[in-house]
Amino acid sequence: MVNGLPGKMSTKVIEYVSASPDFTLSPFSFTGSEVNMDHVSIKEMRYGLVPPTEREKCIALIKEYLGQFLVVDFTHPSAVNGNAEFYCQHELPFVMGTTGGDREALEQTVKNSNIIAVIAPNMAKQIVAFQAMMEYAATAFSGAFKGYALEIVESHQQGKADTSGTAKAMVKYFNELGISFSPEQIIMVRNPDEQRRMGVPEKHLGGHGWHTYTLRSPDGTVLFRFTHNINGRDVYAAGTLDALRFLQQKVDAGDKGKVYSMTDVFKGV
């Protein structure tokens, strides 16, 4: 079950899942109360949009026909914690790609439940690998950039409501490398005109993730810059399928009360 339709990320995930022979899709998707339509069609398939008031009845019907199933959540930051509580209550293992919410409470909700989940601010395995490299550097070379100044600029489509979860996750590694910086200092770019000036292709203004991390020495003579620019949503959808397959393996193994990351998926642990 892919929740978050008619959102673009959920739509892209459904396109990938429907093209994969090892999945069967639920014809329903949880949506927000502000959505004023009752269904959406993707690849000639119709998906009913279920508002919050109808979730209980819908889940009961799906479970009656399907039994156990997995959930993918690409909804809205404001719905993160409530959705996780619902999934845990109904014992629905899930992949959470939605950012925002109270992340500590989110993980604790799963750990106190009978299910497991893959929770990640970024589903792109290559970026996860980059983050793992930064984590290693932060541990092995703690304080190596002490005194350096940091600037983080992240650009996403205008409809992204919150600061990039990937950018916020990177702050911790830079802190461990000796740089004083807080997530509130991250520069969010959501204006299409500014994004055009940055070089974001016109066709990807509605779906992209451009991140640049710039470090400068105290005297200004040394500069380091790390950049990862993603156009479109395909890489995230492909990673979501990997997360689903990993999650099913863990469900089959009988795991309960555990939270996995995309690093775990990448390593296959």
Residues 221 and 95 in one domain: no
Range of the domain at 22: 2-119+235-267
Is 70 exceeded by the pLDDT of residue 90? yes
Residues 62 and 115 in one domain: yes
Per-residue H/E/C for the chain:
CEECCCCHHHHHHHHHHHCCCCCCCCCEEECCCCCCCCEEEECCEEEEEECHHHHHHHHHHHHHHHCCCCEEECCCHHHHHHHHHHHHHCCCCEEECCCCCCHHHHHHHHHCCCCEEEECCCCCHHHHHHHHHHHHHHHHCCCCCCCCEEEEEEEECCCCCCCCHHHHHHHHHHHHCCCCCCHHHCEEECCHHHHHHHCCCHHHCCCEEEEEEEEECCCCCCEEEEEEEEECCHHHHHHHHHHHHHHHHHHHCCCCCEEECHHHHHHCC
The CATH number for 201's domain is 3.30.360.10
Residues 85 and 167 in one domain: no
Reported pTM: 0.84
What tokens appear for 233 in the block?
């949503």
From 12, 76, 125, 160, active-site residue? 160
Which pLDDT tens digit goes with each residue over 193-217?
Answer: 999 999 999 999 999 999 999 999 9
The CATH number for 247's domain is 3.40.50.720
Is 90 exceeded by the pLDDT of residue 222? yes
Calculate mean pLDDT across residues 163-181.
95
Number of folded domains that form the chain: 2
From 156, 208, 211, 250, active-site residue? 156
Residues 243 and 111 in one domain: yes
Residues 6 and 106 in one domain: yes
**Residue 156 designated active-site:** yes
pLDDT at 269: 65
Residues 37 and 113 in one domain: yes
* Distances 75 to 31, 83, 114, 140, 163 between C-alpha atoms, Å: 7, 9, 23, 37, 15
Residues 99 and 197 in one domain: no
Determine the length of the chain: 269
pLDDT at 182: 97
Residues 224 and 244 in one domain: no
**Residue 160 designated active-site:** yes
Residues 248 and 184 in one domain: no
Burial track 205-232 (b if 16+ CB lie within 10 A, e otherwise):
bebbbbbbbebbeeeeeeeeeeebebeb
Which pLDDT tens digit goes with each residue over 229-265?
Answer: 999 999 999 999 999 999 999 999 999 999 999 999 9
